[in-house]
Structure 1
Amino acid sequence: MKLPAGLDKNEERQKELVENWNSRSDEWYAQWDYEALFRELEKDPYIAFPKAIAAVMKEYVPDLKGKKVCVPSCGDSVAVFGFQALGAKVTAADISWKQVENGRKIAEQRGLDITYYCSDSMKLEELVDETFDLVYTSNGVHVWIHDLGTMYRNFHRILKENGRYIMFDTHPWSRPFDKKLLGNGEFRIRKPYEETGPFPGETTFDWRIQDFVNSLAVSGFFIERMEEFHSVIADLPNHNYLYEEKDTAYENFDWHKNPSAALPQCLGLICRKISI
Protein backbone atom coordinates (compact mmCIF):
# COMPACT_ATOMS: atom_id res chain seq x y z
CA MET A 1 0.00 0.00 0.00
CA LYS A 2 1.32 3.42 -0.92
CA LEU A 3 1.85 5.94 1.83
CA PRO A 4 -0.38 9.02 2.03
CA ALA A 5 1.06 11.93 0.04
CA GLY A 6 3.84 13.91 1.67
CA LEU A 7 5.15 11.22 4.02
CA ASP A 8 8.90 11.03 3.61
CA LYS A 9 10.09 10.88 7.23
CA ASN A 10 9.38 7.30 8.16
CA GLU A 11 12.80 6.66 9.64
CA GLU A 12 12.49 9.72 11.88
CA ARG A 13 8.99 8.62 12.86
CA GLN A 14 10.18 5.13 13.75
CA LYS A 15 13.00 6.55 15.85
CA GLU A 16 10.53 8.75 17.72
CA LEU A 17 8.25 5.76 18.20
CA VAL A 18 11.02 3.68 19.76
CA GLU A 19 12.08 6.51 22.06
CA ASN A 20 8.45 7.10 23.03
CA TRP A 21 7.81 3.49 24.04
CA ASN A 22 11.17 3.05 25.72
CA SER A 23 10.35 6.03 27.95
CA ARG A 24 6.78 4.82 28.64
CA SER A 25 7.38 1.11 29.08
CA ASP A 26 7.91 0.97 32.84
CA GLU A 27 4.73 2.99 33.42
CA TRP A 28 2.86 0.89 30.86
CA TYR A 29 3.81 -2.37 32.60
CA ALA A 30 3.06 -0.88 36.03
CA GLN A 31 -0.64 -0.53 35.12
CA TRP A 32 -1.01 -4.31 35.16
CA ASP A 33 -1.24 -6.51 38.23
CA TYR A 34 0.66 -9.41 36.67
CA GLU A 35 0.32 -11.59 39.78
CA ALA A 36 -3.45 -11.30 39.48
CA LEU A 37 -3.25 -11.84 35.72
CA PHE A 38 -1.36 -15.11 36.09
CA ARG A 39 -3.81 -16.33 38.74
CA GLU A 40 -6.64 -15.69 36.28
CA LEU A 41 -4.71 -17.32 33.42
CA GLU A 42 -4.45 -20.50 35.49
CA LYS A 43 -8.25 -20.59 35.65
CA ASP A 44 -8.88 -19.50 32.05
CA PRO A 45 -6.06 -18.66 29.61
CA TYR A 46 -8.56 -16.97 27.30
CA ILE A 47 -8.93 -14.14 29.83
CA ALA A 48 -5.97 -12.56 27.99
CA PHE A 49 -8.23 -11.89 25.00
CA PRO A 50 -11.55 -10.10 24.45
CA LYS A 51 -14.49 -12.50 24.64
CA ALA A 52 -15.29 -12.07 20.94
CA ILE A 53 -11.74 -12.90 19.88
CA ALA A 54 -11.48 -15.79 22.33
CA ALA A 55 -14.61 -17.28 20.76
CA VAL A 56 -13.22 -17.22 17.21
CA MET A 57 -9.84 -18.52 18.42
CA LYS A 58 -11.61 -21.53 19.93
CA GLU A 59 -13.30 -22.12 16.58
CA TYR A 60 -10.39 -21.56 14.18
CA VAL A 61 -7.37 -22.55 16.31
CA PRO A 62 -8.96 -24.77 18.98
CA ASP A 63 -5.81 -26.59 20.09
CA LEU A 64 -2.68 -24.48 20.49
CA LYS A 65 -0.68 -26.98 22.55
CA GLY A 66 2.76 -27.24 21.00
CA LYS A 67 1.85 -24.84 18.19
CA LYS A 68 4.25 -22.04 17.29
CA VAL A 69 2.70 -18.61 17.85
CA CYS A 70 4.24 -15.23 17.06
CA VAL A 71 3.04 -12.01 18.71
CA PRO A 72 4.59 -9.01 16.90
CA SER A 73 4.28 -5.60 18.57
CA CYS A 74 3.73 -7.55 21.79
CA GLY A 75 3.51 -4.44 24.00
CA ASP A 76 2.49 -5.40 27.55
CA SER A 77 2.82 -9.14 26.77
CA VAL A 78 -0.66 -9.96 28.10
CA ALA A 79 -1.50 -11.88 24.91
CA VAL A 80 1.96 -13.48 24.99
CA PHE A 81 1.30 -14.89 28.45
CA GLY A 82 -2.18 -15.96 27.37
CA PHE A 83 -0.83 -18.03 24.49
CA GLN A 84 1.84 -19.53 26.74
CA ALA A 85 -0.87 -20.56 29.21
CA LEU A 86 -2.70 -22.24 26.30
CA GLY A 87 0.36 -24.42 25.74
CA ALA A 88 1.77 -22.67 22.69
CA LYS A 89 5.47 -22.16 21.95
CA VAL A 90 5.50 -18.37 21.88
CA THR A 91 7.80 -15.92 20.16
CA ALA A 92 7.23 -12.25 20.98
CA ALA A 93 8.66 -9.18 19.29
CA ASP A 94 8.45 -5.44 19.76
CA ILE A 95 10.21 -2.45 18.24
CA SER A 96 10.92 -1.11 21.74
CA TRP A 97 13.80 -2.84 23.50
CA LYS A 98 12.36 -1.69 26.82
CA GLN A 99 9.02 -3.39 26.17
CA VAL A 100 10.93 -6.55 25.27
CA GLU A 101 13.07 -6.25 28.39
CA ASN A 102 10.06 -5.85 30.68
CA GLY A 103 8.20 -8.76 29.12
CA ARG A 104 11.25 -11.02 29.17
CA LYS A 105 11.91 -10.15 32.81
CA ILE A 106 8.46 -11.32 33.88
CA ALA A 107 8.76 -14.48 31.78
CA GLU A 108 12.14 -15.34 33.30
CA GLN A 109 10.93 -14.67 36.84
CA ARG A 110 8.14 -17.18 36.30
CA GLY A 111 10.28 -19.71 34.45
CA LEU A 112 8.31 -19.35 31.21
CA ASP A 113 9.91 -20.52 27.97
CA ILE A 114 9.13 -17.51 25.77
CA THR A 115 11.47 -16.16 23.08
CA TYR A 116 11.68 -12.37 22.78
CA TYR A 117 13.16 -10.27 19.98
CA CYS A 118 13.54 -6.54 19.58
CA SER A 119 12.21 -6.29 16.05
CA ASP A 120 10.10 -4.00 13.86
CA SER A 121 6.79 -5.66 12.91
CA MET A 122 7.28 -4.43 9.35
CA LYS A 123 10.57 -6.37 9.10
CA LEU A 124 10.85 -9.27 11.58
CA GLU A 125 14.27 -9.98 10.13
CA GLU A 126 15.19 -12.30 13.01
CA LEU A 127 12.32 -14.68 12.25
CA VAL A 128 12.65 -17.61 9.87
CA ASP A 129 10.30 -18.19 6.93
CA GLU A 130 7.41 -20.65 7.30
CA THR A 131 7.92 -21.21 11.02
CA PHE A 132 4.68 -20.27 12.76
CA ASP A 133 1.20 -21.73 12.93
CA LEU A 134 -0.34 -18.46 14.11
CA VAL A 135 0.50 -14.77 14.11
CA TYR A 136 -1.56 -12.53 16.39
CA THR A 137 -1.77 -8.77 16.85
CA SER A 138 -4.02 -6.99 19.33
CA ASN A 139 -5.50 -3.54 19.74
CA GLY A 140 -3.15 -0.60 19.29
CA VAL A 141 -0.72 -2.15 16.81
CA HIS A 142 -1.90 -0.78 13.47
CA VAL A 143 -1.91 2.90 14.39
CA TRP A 144 1.91 2.79 14.58
CA ILE A 145 2.38 1.05 11.22
CA HIS A 146 2.95 3.25 8.17
CA ASP A 147 3.05 0.39 5.63
CA LEU A 148 0.42 -2.30 6.19
CA GLY A 149 1.39 -4.27 3.08
CA THR A 150 4.99 -4.71 4.19
CA MET A 151 3.92 -5.84 7.65
CA TYR A 152 1.37 -8.31 6.31
CA ARG A 153 3.83 -9.73 3.77
CA ASN A 154 6.24 -10.47 6.60
CA PHE A 155 3.46 -12.12 8.59
CA HIS A 156 2.74 -14.19 5.47
CA ARG A 157 6.44 -15.01 5.12
CA ILE A 158 6.90 -16.38 8.65
CA LEU A 159 3.67 -18.41 8.63
CA LYS A 160 3.50 -22.03 7.58
CA GLU A 161 1.27 -22.86 4.62
CA ASN A 162 -2.36 -22.50 5.75
CA GLY A 163 -1.17 -20.81 8.95
CA ARG A 164 -3.43 -18.13 10.33
CA TYR A 165 -3.17 -14.47 11.19
CA ILE A 166 -5.70 -13.21 13.74
CA MET A 167 -5.97 -9.55 14.59
CA PHE A 168 -8.24 -7.14 16.36
CA ASP A 169 -7.93 -3.40 16.61
CA THR A 170 -9.96 -0.25 17.14
CA HIS A 171 -12.89 -0.17 14.75
CA PRO A 172 -12.28 2.53 12.12
CA TRP A 173 -15.87 3.76 12.43
CA SER A 174 -15.03 5.27 15.79
CA ARG A 175 -12.23 7.40 14.34
CA PRO A 176 -14.22 10.36 12.98
CA PHE A 177 -15.95 11.14 16.27
CA ASP A 178 -14.68 13.43 19.01
CA LYS A 179 -14.58 11.02 21.96
CA LYS A 180 -14.55 13.77 24.58
CA LEU A 181 -17.87 15.04 23.27
CA LEU A 182 -19.22 11.50 23.03
CA GLY A 183 -18.67 11.26 26.76
CA ASN A 184 -21.11 14.15 27.13
CA GLY A 185 -23.69 12.53 24.88
CA GLU A 186 -22.84 14.66 21.85
CA PHE A 187 -21.84 13.42 18.41
CA ARG A 188 -19.47 15.64 16.49
CA ILE A 189 -17.29 14.69 13.54
CA ARG A 190 -13.68 15.76 13.92
CA LYS A 191 -12.47 14.56 10.50
CA PRO A 192 -13.66 12.66 7.40
CA TYR A 193 -13.53 8.88 7.57
CA GLU A 194 -11.32 8.76 4.48
CA GLU A 195 -8.43 10.63 6.08
CA THR A 196 -5.43 8.68 7.33
CA GLY A 197 -2.61 9.90 9.54
CA PRO A 198 -0.34 11.31 10.57
CA PHE A 199 -1.85 14.54 11.73
CA PRO A 200 -0.14 17.60 13.23
CA GLY A 201 1.42 16.61 16.53
CA GLU A 202 0.68 12.91 15.97
CA THR A 203 2.57 9.96 14.54
CA THR A 204 -0.33 7.54 14.20
CA PHE A 205 -2.31 6.21 11.24
CA ASP A 206 -6.07 5.76 11.34
CA TRP A 207 -6.49 3.04 8.75
CA ARG A 208 -9.89 2.18 7.27
CA ILE A 209 -11.49 -1.25 6.86
CA GLN A 210 -10.62 -1.26 3.16
CA ASP A 211 -6.98 -0.58 4.01
CA PHE A 212 -6.85 -3.71 6.17
CA VAL A 213 -8.74 -5.86 3.67
CA ASN A 214 -6.93 -4.73 0.51
CA SER A 215 -3.48 -4.98 2.10
CA LEU A 216 -4.20 -8.47 3.44
CA ALA A 217 -5.50 -9.63 0.05
CA VAL A 218 -2.46 -8.51 -1.94
CA SER A 219 -0.17 -9.94 0.75
CA GLY A 220 -1.49 -13.46 0.22
CA PHE A 221 -4.16 -13.83 2.89
CA PHE A 222 -7.64 -15.25 2.53
CA ILE A 223 -9.99 -13.55 4.97
CA GLU A 224 -12.05 -16.29 6.58
CA ARG A 225 -14.09 -14.16 8.95
CA MET A 226 -14.67 -10.61 10.14
CA GLU A 227 -15.98 -9.68 13.58
CA GLU A 228 -17.28 -6.25 14.57
CA PHE A 229 -17.72 -6.26 18.31
CA HIS A 230 -18.50 -4.15 21.32
CA SER A 231 -16.75 -3.96 24.64
CA VAL A 232 -18.65 -6.06 27.17
CA ILE A 233 -18.68 -6.05 30.95
CA ALA A 234 -17.03 -9.48 31.02
CA ASP A 235 -13.96 -7.96 29.34
CA LEU A 236 -13.29 -5.59 32.23
CA PRO A 237 -10.69 -4.55 33.14
CA ASN A 238 -8.53 -5.98 30.36
CA HIS A 239 -10.34 -5.03 27.19
CA ASN A 240 -12.73 -2.16 27.75
CA TYR A 241 -12.29 0.33 24.92
CA LEU A 242 -15.20 2.60 25.73
CA TYR A 243 -14.78 6.21 26.72
CA GLU A 244 -14.43 6.31 30.50
CA GLU A 245 -15.83 9.58 31.80
CA LYS A 246 -18.78 8.16 33.67
CA ASP A 247 -19.67 7.68 37.32
CA THR A 248 -19.13 3.94 37.04
CA ALA A 249 -17.51 1.74 34.41
CA TYR A 250 -20.77 -0.15 33.94
CA GLU A 251 -22.55 2.94 32.64
CA ASN A 252 -20.12 2.96 29.74
CA PHE A 253 -21.84 -0.08 28.26
CA ASP A 254 -25.29 1.58 28.05
CA TRP A 255 -25.47 3.39 24.71
CA HIS A 256 -28.35 5.53 26.02
CA LYS A 257 -25.91 7.04 28.53
CA ASN A 258 -22.71 6.70 26.50
CA PRO A 259 -23.35 7.14 22.75
CA SER A 260 -20.02 5.59 21.79
CA ALA A 261 -21.34 2.23 23.07
CA ALA A 262 -23.74 2.20 20.10
CA LEU A 263 -20.77 1.78 17.76
CA PRO A 264 -18.64 -1.36 17.57
CA GLN A 265 -15.42 -0.61 19.41
CA CYS A 266 -13.29 -3.27 17.72
CA LEU A 267 -12.75 -4.97 14.38
CA GLY A 268 -11.44 -8.52 14.21
CA LEU A 269 -10.17 -10.45 11.18
CA ILE A 270 -9.29 -14.11 10.90
CA CYS A 271 -7.03 -14.77 7.90
CA ARG A 272 -5.37 -17.84 6.38
CA LYS A 273 -2.11 -17.90 4.44
CA ILE A 274 -2.44 -18.99 0.82
CA SER A 275 0.22 -19.29 -1.88
CA ILE A 276 0.74 -16.23 -4.06
Structure 2
Amino acid sequence: MEDRARTTAARVLENRRLWDERVPINAASEFYDLTGFRSGRDDLDSFQLDELGDVDGLDLAHLQCHIGLDTMAWARRGARVAGLDFSAPAVETAAALAAEAGLEGRARFIAADVYDAVEELGARAFDVVYTGNGALMWLPDISRWARTVAGLLRPGGRLYLAEFHPLTDVLDDEDGATVVRDYFSRGARTYYSPGSYADWSAETVHNNATEWHHTLGDVVSAVAGAGLRVQFVREHETIPFQRYAALVADGGRFRYADRRTRLPLMYSLAATADA
Protein backbone atom coordinates (compact mmCIF):
# COMPACT_ATOMS: atom_id res chain seq x y z
CA MET A 1 0.00 0.00 0.00
CA GLU A 2 2.85 2.39 0.86
CA ASP A 3 4.59 1.67 -2.47
CA ARG A 4 1.32 2.25 -4.30
CA ALA A 5 0.86 5.61 -2.55
CA ARG A 6 4.40 6.64 -3.50
CA THR A 7 3.75 5.65 -7.12
CA THR A 8 0.52 7.66 -7.19
CA ALA A 9 2.26 10.70 -5.65
CA ALA A 10 5.00 10.48 -8.29
CA ARG A 11 2.41 10.35 -11.07
CA VAL A 12 0.56 13.36 -9.66
CA LEU A 13 3.85 15.28 -9.48
CA GLU A 14 4.58 14.34 -13.10
CA ASN A 15 1.12 15.58 -14.08
CA ARG A 16 1.69 18.85 -12.26
CA ARG A 17 4.94 19.42 -14.16
CA LEU A 18 3.11 18.71 -17.41
CA TRP A 19 0.40 21.26 -16.57
CA ASP A 20 2.90 23.86 -15.32
CA GLU A 21 4.68 23.70 -18.67
CA ARG A 22 1.46 24.07 -20.65
CA VAL A 23 0.11 27.15 -18.85
CA PRO A 24 1.89 29.72 -21.09
CA ILE A 25 1.10 27.63 -24.18
CA ASN A 26 -2.59 27.53 -23.34
CA ALA A 27 -2.72 31.18 -22.33
CA ALA A 28 -1.24 32.19 -25.71
CA SER A 29 -3.53 29.94 -27.77
CA GLU A 30 -6.57 30.70 -29.89
CA PHE A 31 -8.28 27.84 -28.06
CA TYR A 32 -8.46 29.89 -24.84
CA ASP A 33 -8.79 33.23 -26.67
CA LEU A 34 -7.74 35.52 -23.83
CA THR A 35 -8.37 38.54 -26.05
CA GLY A 36 -11.99 37.49 -26.31
CA PHE A 37 -12.14 36.81 -22.58
CA ARG A 38 -10.82 40.27 -21.79
CA SER A 39 -13.58 41.75 -23.96
CA GLY A 40 -16.25 39.83 -22.04
CA ARG A 41 -16.54 36.46 -23.82
CA ASP A 42 -16.80 33.25 -21.83
CA ASP A 43 -17.17 29.61 -22.81
CA LEU A 44 -19.70 28.20 -20.35
CA ASP A 45 -22.15 25.81 -21.96
CA SER A 46 -25.72 27.07 -22.13
CA PHE A 47 -26.89 23.98 -20.27
CA GLN A 48 -24.59 24.90 -17.38
CA LEU A 49 -26.12 28.37 -17.12
CA ASP A 50 -29.61 26.90 -17.17
CA GLU A 51 -28.92 24.10 -14.69
CA LEU A 52 -26.91 25.99 -12.09
CA GLY A 53 -29.02 29.11 -12.46
CA ASP A 54 -28.53 32.47 -10.75
CA VAL A 55 -25.28 32.68 -8.77
CA ASP A 56 -25.48 36.38 -7.91
CA GLY A 57 -24.32 36.94 -4.34
CA LEU A 58 -23.25 33.31 -3.81
CA ASP A 59 -19.87 32.01 -2.64
CA LEU A 60 -18.59 29.60 -5.29
CA ALA A 61 -15.49 27.38 -5.23
CA HIS A 62 -14.09 26.13 -8.53
CA LEU A 63 -11.86 23.10 -8.05
CA GLN A 64 -9.12 22.35 -10.62
CA CYS A 65 -9.70 25.73 -12.23
CA HIS A 66 -6.56 25.85 -14.48
CA ILE A 67 -6.17 29.51 -15.62
CA GLY A 68 -9.53 30.49 -14.19
CA LEU A 69 -11.62 31.51 -17.18
CA ASP A 70 -14.71 29.58 -16.09
CA THR A 71 -14.12 30.71 -12.51
CA MET A 72 -14.21 34.33 -13.59
CA ALA A 73 -17.21 33.71 -15.84
CA TRP A 74 -19.18 32.94 -12.67
CA ALA A 75 -17.69 36.03 -10.98
CA ARG A 76 -18.94 38.15 -13.87
CA ARG A 77 -22.39 36.74 -13.11
CA GLY A 78 -22.20 37.99 -9.55
CA ALA A 79 -20.65 35.15 -7.57
CA ARG A 80 -17.79 35.58 -5.12
CA VAL A 81 -15.39 32.94 -6.40
CA ALA A 82 -12.36 31.03 -5.19
CA GLY A 83 -10.41 29.06 -7.78
CA LEU A 84 -8.04 26.28 -6.74
CA ASP A 85 -5.51 24.44 -8.88
CA PHE A 86 -2.37 22.42 -8.15
CA SER A 87 -0.38 24.39 -10.76
CA ALA A 88 1.19 27.56 -9.33
CA PRO A 89 1.79 29.06 -12.82
CA ALA A 90 -1.90 28.50 -13.65
CA VAL A 91 -2.98 30.27 -10.48
CA GLU A 92 -0.59 33.16 -11.13
CA THR A 93 -1.98 33.54 -14.65
CA ALA A 94 -5.56 33.44 -13.33
CA ALA A 95 -4.86 36.08 -10.69
CA ALA A 96 -3.28 38.36 -13.28
CA LEU A 97 -6.28 37.96 -15.58
CA ALA A 98 -8.65 38.72 -12.70
CA ALA A 99 -6.77 41.95 -12.03
CA GLU A 100 -6.94 42.91 -15.71
CA ALA A 101 -10.68 42.20 -15.73
CA GLY A 102 -11.30 44.23 -12.59
CA LEU A 103 -12.40 41.16 -10.64
CA GLU A 104 -9.86 41.20 -7.80
CA GLY A 105 -12.61 41.80 -5.27
CA ARG A 106 -14.74 38.93 -6.54
CA ALA A 107 -12.15 36.33 -7.57
CA ARG A 108 -9.27 34.83 -5.61
CA PHE A 109 -7.00 31.97 -6.63
CA ILE A 110 -5.08 29.46 -4.55
CA ALA A 111 -2.39 26.97 -5.57
CA ALA A 112 -3.02 23.70 -3.72
CA ASP A 113 -3.85 20.05 -4.19
CA VAL A 114 -7.57 19.53 -4.65
CA TYR A 115 -7.67 17.16 -1.68
CA ASP A 116 -6.45 20.03 0.53
CA ALA A 117 -9.27 22.34 -0.57
CA VAL A 118 -11.10 22.34 2.78
CA GLU A 119 -7.95 23.43 4.63
CA GLU A 120 -7.06 26.01 1.98
CA LEU A 121 -10.50 27.49 1.24
CA GLY A 122 -12.45 26.89 4.45
CA ALA A 123 -14.78 24.24 5.80
CA ARG A 124 -18.46 24.69 4.90
CA ALA A 125 -17.65 28.08 3.37
CA PHE A 126 -19.42 27.80 0.00
CA ASP A 127 -22.90 27.83 -1.47
CA VAL A 128 -21.67 26.16 -4.66
CA VAL A 129 -18.78 23.89 -5.56
CA TYR A 130 -18.26 23.82 -9.33
CA THR A 131 -15.93 21.71 -11.43
CA GLY A 132 -15.72 19.99 -14.77
CA ASN A 133 -14.47 19.88 -18.37
CA GLY A 134 -11.70 17.34 -18.01
CA ALA A 135 -11.03 17.60 -14.27
CA LEU A 136 -11.98 14.28 -12.70
CA MET A 137 -9.73 12.12 -14.89
CA TRP A 138 -6.69 13.64 -13.15
CA LEU A 139 -7.82 12.44 -9.71
CA PRO A 140 -6.67 9.05 -8.37
CA ASP A 141 -9.35 8.87 -5.64
CA ILE A 142 -12.87 9.94 -6.64
CA SER A 143 -14.39 9.12 -3.24
CA ARG A 144 -11.89 11.38 -1.48
CA TRP A 145 -12.74 14.12 -3.96
CA ALA A 146 -16.46 13.79 -3.16
CA ARG A 147 -15.76 13.97 0.58
CA THR A 148 -13.70 17.12 -0.06
CA VAL A 149 -16.63 18.68 -1.93
CA ALA A 150 -18.99 17.81 0.93
CA GLY A 151 -16.58 19.43 3.39
CA LEU A 152 -16.64 22.71 1.44
CA LEU A 153 -20.43 23.05 1.20
CA ARG A 154 -22.62 24.95 3.59
CA PRO A 155 -25.85 23.28 4.70
CA GLY A 156 -28.11 23.32 1.66
CA GLY A 157 -25.17 24.10 -0.63
CA ARG A 158 -24.84 22.57 -4.11
CA LEU A 159 -22.29 20.63 -6.08
CA TYR A 160 -22.52 21.29 -9.81
CA LEU A 161 -20.38 19.17 -12.11
CA ALA A 162 -20.21 19.46 -15.93
CA GLU A 163 -17.78 16.86 -17.19
CA PHE A 164 -16.73 14.90 -20.25
CA HIS A 165 -18.65 11.64 -20.32
CA PRO A 166 -16.44 8.71 -19.21
CA LEU A 167 -17.54 6.85 -22.33
CA THR A 168 -15.38 9.28 -24.33
CA ASP A 169 -12.28 7.80 -22.64
CA VAL A 170 -12.73 4.42 -24.31
CA LEU A 171 -13.76 5.27 -27.88
CA ASP A 172 -11.52 5.51 -30.94
CA ASP A 173 -10.09 8.99 -31.51
CA GLU A 174 -11.11 9.00 -35.17
CA ASP A 175 -14.64 7.63 -35.43
CA GLY A 176 -15.74 8.22 -31.83
CA ALA A 177 -17.81 5.05 -31.98
CA THR A 178 -15.50 2.02 -31.82
CA VAL A 179 -14.65 0.81 -28.32
CA VAL A 180 -10.86 0.50 -28.00
CA ARG A 181 -10.41 0.43 -24.19
CA ASP A 182 -12.14 -1.22 -21.26
CA TYR A 183 -14.83 1.04 -19.80
CA PHE A 184 -14.60 -0.76 -16.46
CA SER A 185 -10.81 -0.59 -16.11
CA ARG A 186 -10.12 1.72 -13.17
CA GLY A 187 -6.33 1.53 -13.01
CA ALA A 188 -3.99 4.39 -13.83
CA ARG A 189 -3.25 4.92 -17.53
CA THR A 190 0.05 6.63 -18.33
CA TYR A 191 0.69 7.80 -21.88
CA TYR A 192 3.01 10.06 -23.87
CA SER A 193 1.42 13.37 -24.92
CA PRO A 194 3.67 16.07 -26.40
CA GLY A 195 2.25 19.49 -27.13
CA SER A 196 -1.07 20.69 -25.76
CA TYR A 197 -4.72 20.21 -26.72
CA ALA A 198 -4.65 23.99 -27.20
CA ASP A 199 -1.64 23.80 -29.56
CA TRP A 200 -0.46 20.37 -30.68
CA SER A 201 2.56 21.92 -32.44
CA ALA A 202 4.00 23.38 -29.23
CA GLU A 203 7.35 21.98 -28.14
CA THR A 204 7.18 20.47 -24.66
CA VAL A 205 9.50 18.53 -22.34
CA HIS A 206 7.19 17.06 -19.69
CA ASN A 207 5.06 14.76 -21.81
CA ASN A 208 4.10 11.81 -19.62
CA ALA A 209 0.50 12.07 -18.41
CA THR A 210 -1.44 9.77 -16.10
CA GLU A 211 -5.22 9.61 -15.96
CA TRP A 212 -7.57 7.65 -13.74
CA HIS A 213 -10.80 6.44 -15.33
CA HIS A 214 -13.98 6.86 -13.27
CA THR A 215 -17.21 5.43 -14.64
CA LEU A 216 -20.43 7.40 -14.39
CA GLY A 217 -21.53 4.99 -11.67
CA ASP A 218 -18.30 5.61 -9.75
CA VAL A 219 -18.91 9.36 -9.70
CA VAL A 220 -22.57 9.16 -8.71
CA SER A 221 -21.81 6.61 -6.00
CA ALA A 222 -18.95 8.71 -4.63
CA VAL A 223 -21.15 11.81 -4.41
CA ALA A 224 -23.95 9.90 -2.69
CA GLY A 225 -21.45 8.16 -0.41
CA ALA A 226 -20.15 11.55 0.74
CA GLY A 227 -23.61 12.33 2.08
CA LEU A 228 -24.77 14.58 -0.74
CA ARG A 229 -28.26 14.21 -2.19
CA VAL A 230 -28.11 13.71 -5.97
CA GLN A 231 -30.67 15.93 -7.72
CA PHE A 232 -30.01 14.89 -11.31
CA VAL A 233 -27.58 13.34 -13.75
CA ARG A 234 -28.05 14.47 -17.37
CA GLU A 235 -26.17 13.40 -20.47
CA HIS A 236 -25.41 15.80 -23.33
CA GLU A 237 -24.70 15.36 -27.04
CA THR A 238 -22.22 18.23 -27.51
CA ILE A 239 -18.67 18.91 -26.31
CA PRO A 240 -16.57 22.13 -26.40
CA PHE A 241 -13.80 20.75 -28.63
CA GLN A 242 -13.38 18.25 -31.45
CA ARG A 243 -12.82 15.17 -29.30
CA TYR A 244 -13.07 12.88 -32.33
CA ALA A 245 -12.30 13.52 -35.99
CA ALA A 246 -15.86 12.41 -36.82
CA LEU A 247 -17.47 15.26 -34.86
CA VAL A 248 -18.72 18.37 -36.65
CA ALA A 249 -18.93 21.97 -35.46
CA ASP A 250 -22.31 23.28 -34.40
CA GLY A 251 -22.70 26.72 -32.84
CA GLY A 252 -19.33 26.79 -31.11
CA ARG A 253 -19.64 23.17 -29.92
CA PHE A 254 -19.10 19.78 -31.57
CA ARG A 255 -21.50 16.89 -32.08
CA TYR A 256 -21.85 13.67 -34.07
CA ALA A 257 -22.65 14.37 -37.71
CA ASP A 258 -25.28 11.64 -37.88
CA ARG A 259 -27.89 12.43 -35.24
CA ARG A 260 -29.37 8.95 -35.62
CA THR A 261 -26.28 7.32 -34.08
CA ARG A 262 -25.38 9.65 -31.22
CA LEU A 263 -23.48 8.84 -28.04
CA PRO A 264 -23.17 11.03 -24.93
CA LEU A 265 -20.20 13.39 -24.97
CA MET A 266 -20.73 15.22 -21.67
CA TYR A 267 -22.79 14.84 -18.54
CA SER A 268 -23.86 17.14 -15.74
CA LEU A 269 -24.61 16.31 -12.13
CA ALA A 270 -26.11 18.35 -9.33
CA ALA A 271 -26.22 17.38 -5.67
CA THR A 272 -27.03 19.18 -2.42
CA ALA A 273 -25.76 19.06 1.14
CA ASP A 274 -28.34 18.51 3.86
CA ALA A 275 -29.77 21.76 5.17
TM-score between both structures, scaled by the size of structure 2: 0.82
In the alignment, the residues of structure 2 paired with residue 55 and residue 66 of structure 1 have an alpha-carbon distance, to the nearest angstrom, of: 17
Query: Would you say the 8 A contact 1:228–1:264 is kept in 2?
Result: yes
1:254/1:155 CA distance change after superposition, 3 Å: closer
Aligned-residue offset at 1:240? 3.3
In the alignment, the residues of structure 1 paired with residue 245 and residue 171 of structure 2 have an alpha-carbon distance, to the nearest angstrom, of: 15
165, 184, 187: which one aligns with 1:194: 184
Structure having the higher strand fraction is 2
RMSD: 2.5
45, 49, 57: which one aligns with 2:44: 49
216, 219, 223: which one aligns with 2:226: 219
Matched AA of 2:37:
L
170, 173, 176: which one aligns with 2:170: 176
Query: Would you say the 8 A contact 2:65–2:83 is kept in 1?
Result: yes
154, 162, 167: which one aligns with 2:161: 167
Matched AA of 1:179:
D
For 2:36, the equivalent position in structure 1 comes to 36
Aligned-residue offset at 1:20? 0.9
In the alignment, the residues of structure 2 paired with residue 121 and residue 57 of structure 1 have an alpha-carbon distance, to the nearest angstrom, of: 22
Query: Would you say the 8 A contact 2:157–2:273 is kept in 1?
Result: yes
Matched AA of 1:94:
D
In the alignment, the residues of structure 1 paired with residue 37 and residue 245 of structure 2 have an alpha-carbon distance, to the nearest angstrom, of: 22
How do 1:65-104 and structure 2 match up within 5 A?
65-104=56-95
105, 109, 112: which one aligns with 1:119: 112
Structure having the higher helix fraction is 1
In structure 2, stretches of 5+ residues that fail to align are: 192-208
78, 100, 105: which one aligns with 2:96: 105
Deviations 1:42-101 (A, max 9, x none): xxxxx531122221112xxx2x22211101100131211111111111111100001101
1:99/1:191 CA distance change after superposition, 3 Å: same
TM-score between both structures, scaled by the size of structure 1: 0.82
For 2:197, the equivalent position in structure 1 comes to none
198, 205, 210: which one aligns with 1:203: 210
Aligned-residue offset at 1:128? 1.2
For 1:255, the equivalent position in structure 2 comes to 257
Alignment: residue pair count: 250
1:87/1:252 CA distance change after superposition, 3 Å: closer
Deviations 1:188-220 (A, max 9, x none): 321221112412434101210111011111111
For 1:12, the equivalent position in structure 2 comes to 10
Query: Would you say the 8 A contact 1:122–1:147 is kept in 2?
Result: no
In the alignment, the residues of structure 2 paired with residue 26 and residue 37 of structure 1 have an alpha-carbon distance, to the nearest angstrom, of: 16
